[in-house]
Amino acid sequence: MKANPKIVISGGGTGGHIFPAIAIADALKRRFPEADILFIGAKGRMEMERVPKAGYPIEGLWISGMTKDLRSLTLPLKLTSSINHAIAILKRFKPDVVIGVGGFASGPTLMSANFLHIPTVIQEQNSYPGKTNRNVGKKAKAICVAYDHMEQWFPKEKIHLTGNPLRANIAANGTREEAATYFNVDAAKPVVLLVGGSQGALGINKGISAQLKAFKDNDLQLIWQTGKTYIDQAQQEVKALGLEDKVKPTVFIDRMDLAYTLADVVISRAGAMSISELALVQKPVIFVPLPTAAEDHQTKNAQRLVDAEAALMVKNAETETELIPALLKLAGDKEAQEKMRTNIGKFARPNAADDIVNVIVDSCLIDS
C-alpha cells in the first residue's frame, strides 16, 4: 500500500473517546505527514466541534445510543440511516483502513467497513468492552487494548496491549510552587484534587459537601472541579464554612498538568482515560465509578487497579458516608500513597499512540 494512506477514524461522544482518537490521528500524521485523515462522528455530539478544532475534517452520522424513553423507538431507523451514510462516505473516500475508538458512530462505521472489506482496527479503552466492539472485533485486523486478560472478549491473536493514547500536555508540569500559585493554595500543605469529568460528578460532589468541614479540621486543601451544575452550591458551602483559603471550587480545570503536579491524592471517576492519565502521572487515587456507565464498565476498570493494590474505590451510593473517611485515611498514610504510586505506574503506557500506529502499519500493510 501507499506511504500516504487514507485513513478514517470513527467514534466520539465523550472526551474519553475523542482525545484518544485525536492522539492517534496526530501520531499517524507524525509517521505519515501526507496522510489523508477523515473523522466520522455522531451529529450533535462533542466530536463535531472538538475534531475540527484539532485540525481534522469530520462528517456526522444520525446515530445515538439506547435510552429509557420513546427516543429509543427511532434507534433502528437511525442505525439503518447511519450505516447507509457510512457506506456512502467510505465508498467516496476510499480509505485504506478504518479505526474505531468507541462511541455511537464507531459501530455503524466499522460495520460498513466490514461490509466493504476495508481493513479495520479497534482501539478499546476499557477493561470490559461494549457489545458493539465485541461483535465488530471478530472481523478486525487488530484490537489495541489498555488492559491484559482481554482474550475472553477478543481473538487472542488479534490483541495488542498498547495502552490508551492520551491528550497532549497532560503530564505533570512545572514546580509545586508554580502550581500552588496558579491554584492559589499553600504549596507546603497537602492538596486533594477532585476531578469528576468535564460535566462534574454529582455523586462525588455530594460526598464532599456532606463532610466538607473535614478539610478545615484536618488541614487539607481541595481543588474541586464541580462542573457547571454544582458550582454555585459548592461556592456557597465553602463560603458558609469560611473555607475559601482551603477549598477551591471551579467549573473546569484548564491546566491539568499543573493540577497533577500539585495533587497529593486524587478523587476521580473511573473512565478509561482518567485511569490512563493517573497511571502516567503516578498519583494515589480513590475511584468513584459512574454507576450508569454502559455495562458498569467503570466499576470493572477500577476493580482491576484495586486488585493490583494500585487504587482505592468507593461506590457512588456510599460517597456521603465513605468518601471522606477513605480520603483522610489515605492522606495520612504516606507508605500507602507510595505503594499506590508504584503500582499504578505499572499501568502507564506513555507511548500508546505511536504503538497503535505501529499496529496499524503492521496489521494493515501500510508502507512506512
pLDDT at residue number 292: 84
Do 66 and 181 share a domain, yes or no? no
In a domain? residue 127: yes
Contact 317/305 with Cβ under 8 angstroms? no
Place of cell 502507564: 348
- The terminus-to-terminus CA distance of the chain in angstroms comes to 9
pLDDT at residue number 197: 62
Closest among 269, 263, 286 to 200, alpha carbons compared: 269
Do 237 and 318 share a domain, yes or no? yes
Closest among 126, 156, 162, 125 to 138, alpha carbons compared: 156
Do 233 and 296 share a domain, yes or no? yes
Do 336 and 203 share a domain, yes or no? yes
Contact 155/170 with Cβ under 8 angstroms? no
In a domain? residue 39: yes
pLDDT at residue number 169: 67
Closest among 296, 294, 297, 325 to 312, alpha carbons compared: 325
Do 292 and 216 share a domain, yes or no? yes
Do 86 and 224 share a domain, yes or no? no
Contact 105/82 with Cβ under 8 angstroms? yes
Alpha-carbon distance of 342 to 37, in angstroms, equals: 38
Alpha-carbon distance of 322 to 311, in angstroms, equals: 15
In a domain? residue 325: yes
Helices 75-93 & 106-115, crossing angle to 10 degrees?
50
In a domain? residue 1: no
What CATH number is given to the structural domain containing 315? 3.40.50.2000
Burial of residue 292 (CB within 10 Å: 0-12, 13-18, 19+) is: exposed
Do 200 and 216 share a domain, yes or no? yes
Do 334 and 226 share a domain, yes or no? yes
Residue 7 Cα to chain centre, angstroms: 22
In a domain? residue 169: no
Measure Cα distances from 239 to 192, 202, 290 in Å. Answer: 19, 20, 28
Cell representation of residue 338: 507510595
In a domain? residue 170: no
- Which residues are bridge partners to 278 per DSSP? none
Parallel, antiparallel, or unpaired for β 159-161 and 142-145? parallel
- Dihedral of CA atoms 279, 282, 286, 292 in degrees, nearest 10, equals -20
Measure Cα distances from 104 to 40, 70, 351 in Å. Answer: 10, 18, 27
pLDDT at residue number 25: 97
Domain that holds residue 152: 6-164+350-364
- Identify the H or E element spanning 298: helix 297-307
- The single-letter DSSP state of residue 256 is H
Do 356 and 238 share a domain, yes or no? no
Measure Cα distances from 16 to 122, 139, 237, 273 in Å. Answer: 15, 24, 30, 5
Query: CA Rg, the chain, in Å?
Result: 21
Place of cell 466493504: 116
In a domain? residue 256: yes
Give me the average pLDDT of each 10-residue run along the chain (368 residues). Answer: 85 84 95 96 91 95 65 72 95 97 92 96 89 89 92 94 83 86 96 78 92 92 93 95 96 91 96 90 96 85 95 96 97 97 94 95 75
SS (H, E, C) 5-22: CEEEEECCCCHHHHHHHH
Do 185 and 116 share a domain, yes or no? no
- The single-letter DSSP state of residue 328 is H
Backbone angles phi, psi at 267, to 5 degrees: -115, 130
In a domain? residue 171: no
Measure Cα distances from 77 to 81, 89, 114, 146 in Å. Answer: 6, 18, 20, 33
Helices 352-364 & 15-31, crossing angle to 10 degrees?
70
Contact 112/10 with Cβ under 8 angstroms? no
- Identify the H or E element spanning 183: helix 176-183
pLDDT at residue number 57: 97
Do 341 and 354 share a domain, yes or no? no
**Number of independent structural domains in the chain:** 2
- The single-letter DSSP state of residue 320 is I
Do 134 and 261 share a domain, yes or no? no
